[in-house]
Structure 1
């Protein structure tokens, strides 16, 4: 477990004065399934298949979390694959819907990019309802990406 940023509570305009802890850490497949479901991304991920989720976590080279600093509740996760030299694929960005709009997703993207390194580009496939978020944070759109869909 490596802290990435101790806390950003002061930067958030959260009426509940939520204080966050961002860190690089491993999480369980059950925790991953839970945050995917609470974010709405569970509809597009195999959340009922915990062994597959565990393989997804095991294959990630960069896993960042956002937690409530007081309770430890997982509020967001960024799961990426990177070589830290040229490319970073941000495979999952999930933030609990009750905490969206407070900068958690933006902070996770920023930290993912920082830890992937300045020489790495960052690529992702946005869920249809998340396109506006990525536009809002200034992520450039590309017309040159291609995709072989998964078979299962």
Structure 2
């Protein structure tokens, strides 16, 4: 398996939606326009490809010198436990440099993963929740 990582290669919105649905990442994948805007407004995206198949993605918003919010980290289910998520995190970190911290909000199913790849759990976080989106079946 030869995974290609890229800062430049951009997936289509359909490829992103398919990846998120595959991973179970709770994103509004029924709303193509919203997913598209999420990516258009992100300024650091790293992708992982197995030929033309999108197998992983890291999507961040950063100022490049102080903080980087890792908004999404997703790896296709049948590609997990191969170091792809760790590599996407490392490529994100190398792009923003040592001056910047990386922070994220974890989905409950990944709470045990992030300490294994170098994140420290914080107790000083606060959030104003978004309005709940309606899930369309």
TM (norm. structure 1) is: 0.83
Three-state SS of the structure 2 residue aligned to 1:67 is strand
1:74 matches 2:54: yes
Which residue number in structure 2 is paired with residue 6 of structure 1? none
1:138 Cα deviation (Å)?
2.3
- Specify every segment of 5 or more residues in structure 2 that has no aligned partner in the other structure, as ranges: 133-137
1:116 Cα shift? 1.5
Show the counterpart of 2:11: 27
Cα deviations across residues 81-104 of structure 1 (Å, max 9, x unaligned)?
A: 001011100000000010100000
Deviation at 1:123, TM superposition (A): 0.4
Name which of 19, 23, 37 aligns with 2:21.
Answer: 37
Match of 2:111, SS? helix
SS at match of 1:53: helix
Coordinate RMSD, CA, aligned: 0.9
Q: How many residues align?
A: 131
Does 2:28 correspond to 1:55?
no
Alignment of 1:112-151 (within 5 A): 112-151=92-131
CA distance in 2, matches of 1:130, 1:101: 13
Q: Deviations over 1:87-141 (max 9, x none)?
A: 1000000000101000000000111111122111100001101011102112111
Structure 1 residue 27 displacement after superposition? 2.1
Q: Structure 1: give runs of 5+ residues left out of the alignment.
A: 1-17
SS in 1 for 2:45: strand
Secondary structure (helix, strand or coil) at the match of 2:18 reads: helix
Mean CA deviation greater in 74-83 or 128-137: 128-137
Name segments (4+ residues, structure 1) moved above 6 Å.
none
TM-score, reference length from structure 2:
0.92
Q: Aligned-pair distance for 1:60? A: 0.5
